[in-house]
A and B are shown apart, each in its own frame.
Chain A
Amino acid sequence: MSRFVERHPAWALIAIIAIAIVLWLIFAVWPPGLEEAIGRKRVFLNALFNGITLGGLYFLVASGFTLIFGLMRNVNLAHGSLYLFGGYVGYAISTSTGSWILSFIVAFIMTALVGVLLQVIVFRRMEGQDLRQTMVTIGLSIVFADLMLWACGGDFYQIQTPGWLIGPVDLPLITAVKSSGEPVYLRYPLVRLVIFAASAVIGVAMWLALNRTRVGMIIRAGVDDRDILAATGVRIQLVFVAVFAFGAGLAGIAGVVGGTFQSLSPGEDIRFLLASLVVVIVGGMGSIPGAALGALIIGLAEQLGSVYIPTYAIVVTFLIMVLVLAIRPQGLLARR
């Protein structure tokens, strides 16, 4: 951080000012002039929180994608299908057993199993052939999409939020002051906050596991040079299978999350595949912190965009991607 400040003092200053403005927007009571110019503070805060929580969901999907890519150089374009599959499994479990937590566990295990099968049956046979693997994943995503359409139909499903998470909570953020002088606090759905906290915990745990454990060291070494790693006697195929299973499992968890605060239907697979594509392009392929940053940026851009410039929300997301490609083609936090 301090090196960044030393090297780019102007950018650091701009960033600090921007952060200060955002913090002021969040915590201060807006003067009437500002409310007239850009609307109510409640709307802004809601969009901001929606963006951050959506970023959490995107992070769950994209981190598995980027992990798999980072280690195996395999662009798994069937990742969206894994997301949707996890969502459907979660729905089936939560409706049959009524347990929300259990649906996460089962969805994780089921998608991880699919991931293992994919890695063992398909990708191991065509290692090092990026293009062919990508094509195969495209074919697989078509097949999966149609199989799921067959099994689940074209209906919308929504996973029931458990009772203890239903309802809003008051956050200590003042949205307005009533004429009587009494402050109005922001009310926000608890479930979204919990899910965001959970994805943040998963992200931090992943970062710690990658940077502080032996397995993480092996994976990082594999990202850098898997041939040398294999030559040192690590059973690299086992690592590949484990990482693929974990990445797929994350997509499955994300499916349950997405099914809880949005809905599941055919077509969501492509939507989330594209979201994770854009997230990892912005953040940098193969980088977990990059996926977090990218997910946050894209989530915020989508939600703030859809509130303030509804017609062009999608274009904002796209413009961010173009801008990143133009300035830093490897992504914001990629090393290479």
Chain B
Amino acid sequence: MSLAHDARVAVRPAAMAQRPARAWPEVNNPAAWIVVVLLLIMPLIASGFFLIEIFATTLILGIMALSLMFLAGYGGMVSLMQLTIAGFSAYMVAVFGISGNANISLGWPWWLAVPMALALATAFGTLGGALAVRTEGIYTIMITLAIGAAFYYFTNQNWAIFNGHTGINNVATPHFWGVNWRADIPFYYVVLAVAALCYFAVEYLSRAPFGLALQGVRDNPRRMAALGFNVNAHRIAAYAFASFVAALAGVLQVWNYRQISPGSVSVGACIDVLIIAVVGGITRPIGPFIGALIFVLLRTFALDFLVRLGLDGNRFRLLIGLGFLAIVFWSSDGVIGLWQRWRQSQRPRNDRQGGGRGHG
């Protein structure tokens, strides 16, 4: 009756079990190569606005959601505090680095501030994870949500470190080798590189002994414990890794917006990350990025789109919520699941479109 049971039901079609023998499935997939080339030459195609506001933002949100996907998909632990970890790391970059609030920021150079932020955020996330693994299933959701909310209210109230509800502005971005790394094109490549790194790290880890053990823990913790695996240690290690990924996203986020405030770590934003991961699909690492792209496109263009249809443009969240509901109702592994089911229904018989109620 626990989440482990649920997650197994949801994740079954992901073919994790069949895959370990085959390494790096992307290599043989032409679509993957097209996406890679497109992403690499994106600065030639897209203008500054699209490059940063759409694609870089998508990748950053995708990395955050990726950390959730890693925990939820492979570990069976739905953590709503991934954004909080990212936000913590963003705050730490602002606090240790250089920013407009000279009385708070310590003014360290970025190559000191960033590792410090990553280390602290990872420690923070691991501690939170150590708390969360004491409970199971839906309790994990509630506890991580409570941690996220506590952090949000704390940043709102604390002026000594987090500068209250105004947050920290004008955070300095790295500038070295004669390149301003926050200029549109270099920044896009930095984000892309980090996203690719995280993506392949998750992909690799899912096939490494640790990842396989983690999936075993997800499917049947008691059996894994009987086999001599330390169940909680695996879960906490998964939290540590996911926290590091989320912390990387946080660093990129604070460089992207050059400021950080409690609004960016609000409860709604925490839930957005869950929405992104679920809409994209939590069975494989590409899902969160697809979800993030949909989310960012909706967020950016829903207003114009709704107004053009003659509706109230402010109903963007309604659209997101309804879309999320529809996905959760009809597909337990998000857009990827829909796509796969469509492909499967295409292959044997062309008349059976749309799939059935599926496995969820």
Which residues of A come within 8 Å of B, CB atoms? 73, 75, 128-132, 134-136, 138-140, 142-143, 145-147, 150, 270, 274, 277-278, 281, 285, 310-315, 317-318, 321-322, 325-326, 329
Whether A277 pairs with B146 at a CB distance below 8 angstroms is yes
Whether B271 pairs with A142 at a CB distance below 8 angstroms is yes
Whether A315 pairs with B154 at a CB distance below 8 angstroms is yes
Whether A142 pairs with B321 at a CB distance below 8 angstroms is yes
Within 8 A of A (CB), among B310-360: 312, 314-315, 317-318, 320-322, 324-325, 328-329, 332, 360
Contacts of B317 in A (CB 8 A): 142, 145-146
Contacts of A312 in B (CB 8 A): 154, 157-158
Contacts of B9 in A (CB 8 A): 129
Contacts of A329 in B (CB 8 A): 134-135
Contacts of B315 in A (CB 8 A): 146, 150
Interface SS of B by simple majority: helix
Whether B6 pairs with A132 at a CB distance below 8 angstroms is yes
Whether A313 pairs with B142 at a CB distance below 8 angstroms is no
Contact A146 B318, CB 8 Å, known A131-B78, A135-B328, A318-B150: yes
A-B contact pairs, 16 of them (CB 8 A): A130-B2, A131-B138, A138-B274, A142-B275, A142-B318, A143-B318, A145-B317, A146-B321, A150-B315, A270-B267, A274-B267, A315-B150, A318-B146, A322-B131, A326-B134, A329-B135
Whether A136 pairs with B150 at a CB distance below 8 angstroms is no
Contacts of B231 in A (CB 8 A): none
Taking CB as reference atom, which chain A residue is nearest B145? A277
Whether B322 pairs with A143 at a CB distance below 8 angstroms is yes
Whether A75 pairs with B138 at a CB distance below 8 angstroms is yes
Contacts of B268 in A (CB 8 A): 270
Contacts of A313 in B (CB 8 A): 157
Select the residue from B147, B153, B312 with max chain A CB neighbours within 10 A.
Answer: B153
Taking CB as reference atom, which chain A residue is nearest B320? A142
Q: Mark B131-145, 1 if CB is under 8 A from A, else 0.
A: 100110111011101
Contacts of B159 in A (CB 8 A): 311
Taking CB as reference atom, which chain B residue is nearest A129? B6
Within 8 A of A (CB), among B259-315: 267-268, 271, 274-275, 278, 312, 314-315
Whether A140 pairs with B325 at a CB distance below 8 angstroms is yes
Answer whether residue B10 sits at the interface, using C-beta atoms and an 8 A cutoff: yes
Contacts of B322 in A (CB 8 A): 139, 143
Whether A135 pairs with B278 at a CB distance below 8 angstroms is yes
In the assembled complex, the Cα of A217 lies from the Cα of B176 at a distance in Å of 71
Which residue of the partner chain, among B135, B145, B153, B360, contacts A129 with CB atoms under 8 Å?
Answer: B360
Q: Mark B104-136, 1 if CB is under 8 A from A, else 0.
A: 000000000000000000000000000100110
Contact A134 B141, CB 8 Å, known A315-B154, A326-B134: yes
Contact A134 B138, CB 8 Å, known A139-B328, A142-B271, A142-B321: yes
Contacts of A274 in B (CB 8 A): 145-146, 149, 267
Top 3 A-B residue pairs of the complex, sorted by shortest distance between their CB atoms: A142-B321, A318-B150, A139-B325
- A100 CB to closest chain B CB (Å) equals 31
In the assembled complex, the Cα of A73 lies from the Cα of B78 at a distance in Å of 17
Q: Mark B83-103, 1 if CB is under 8 A from A, else 0.
A: 000000000000000000000
Answer whether residue B54 sits at the interface, using C-beta atoms and an 8 A cutoff: no
Contacts of A281 in B (CB 8 A): 139, 142-143, 146
Which residues of B come within 8 Å of A, CB atoms? 1-3, 6-7, 9-10, 78, 131, 134-135, 137-139, 141-143, 145-147, 149-150, 153-154, 157-159, 267-268, 271, 274-275, 278, 312, 314-315, 317-318, 320-322, 324-325, 328-329, 332, 360
Whether A130 pairs with B1 at a CB distance below 8 angstroms is yes
In the assembled complex, the Cα of A138 lies from the Cα of B312 at a distance in Å of 23
Which residue of the partner chain, among A135, A147, A277, A325, contacts B134 with CB atoms under 8 Å?
Answer: A325
Whether B134 pairs with A143 at a CB distance below 8 angstroms is no
In the assembled complex, the Cα of A3 lies from the Cα of B267 at a distance in Å of 42
Contacts of B139 in A (CB 8 A): 281, 285
Whether A142 pairs with B324 at a CB distance below 8 angstroms is yes
Contact A132 B157, CB 8 Å, known A315-B150, A318-B150: no
Given A132-B332, A274-B267, A325-B135, 20 extra CB contacts under 8 A: A129-B9, A130-B1, A130-B137, A131-B3, A134-B141, A135-B324, A138-B274, A143-B322, A143-B325, A147-B318, A274-B149, A310-B157, A311-B158, A312-B157, A315-B150, A315-B154, A318-B146, A321-B150, A322-B131, A329-B135
Contacts of A146 in B (CB 8 A): 315, 317-318, 321
In the assembled complex, the Cα of A147 lies from the Cα of B150 at a distance in Å of 26
Contact A325 B325, CB 8 Å, known A129-B360, A130-B1, A313-B157: no
Contacts of B153 in A (CB 8 A): 314
Whether B138 pairs with A130 at a CB distance below 8 angstroms is yes
In the assembled complex, the Cα of A128 lies from the Cα of B317 at a distance in Å of 28
In the assembled complex, the Cα of A145 lies from the Cα of B143 at a distance in Å of 22
Which residue of the partner chain, among A130, A277, A315, contacts B6 with CB atoms under 8 Å?
Answer: A130
Contacts of A311 in B (CB 8 A): 157-159
In the assembled complex, the Cα of A317 lies from the Cα of B318 at a distance in Å of 32
Whether B142 pairs with A277 at a CB distance below 8 angstroms is yes
In the assembled complex, the Cα of A142 lies from the Cα of B141 at a distance in Å of 16
Contacts of B267 in A (CB 8 A): 270, 274
In the assembled complex, the Cα of A278 lies from the Cα of B135 at a distance in Å of 14
- B228 CB to closest chain A CB (Å) equals 24
Contact A75 B143, CB 8 Å, known A142-B324, A150-B315, A312-B157: no
In the assembled complex, the Cα of A19 lies from the Cα of B236 at a distance in Å of 39
In the assembled complex, the Cα of A322 lies from the Cα of B320 at a distance in Å of 33
- A150 CB to closest chain B CB (Å) equals 7
Taking CB as reference atom, which chain A residue is nearest B318? A146
Contacts of B138 in A (CB 8 A): 73, 75, 130-131, 134
Whether A136 pairs with B329 at a CB distance below 8 angstroms is yes
Whether B157 pairs with A131 at a CB distance below 8 angstroms is no
In the assembled complex, the Cα of A140 lies from the Cα of B131 at a distance in Å of 28
Contacts of B150 in A (CB 8 A): 314-315, 317-318, 321
Contacts of B332 in A (CB 8 A): 132
Whether A75 pairs with B131 at a CB distance below 8 angstroms is no
Contacts of B321 in A (CB 8 A): 139-140, 142-143, 146
In the assembled complex, the Cα of A285 lies from the Cα of B143 at a distance in Å of 12
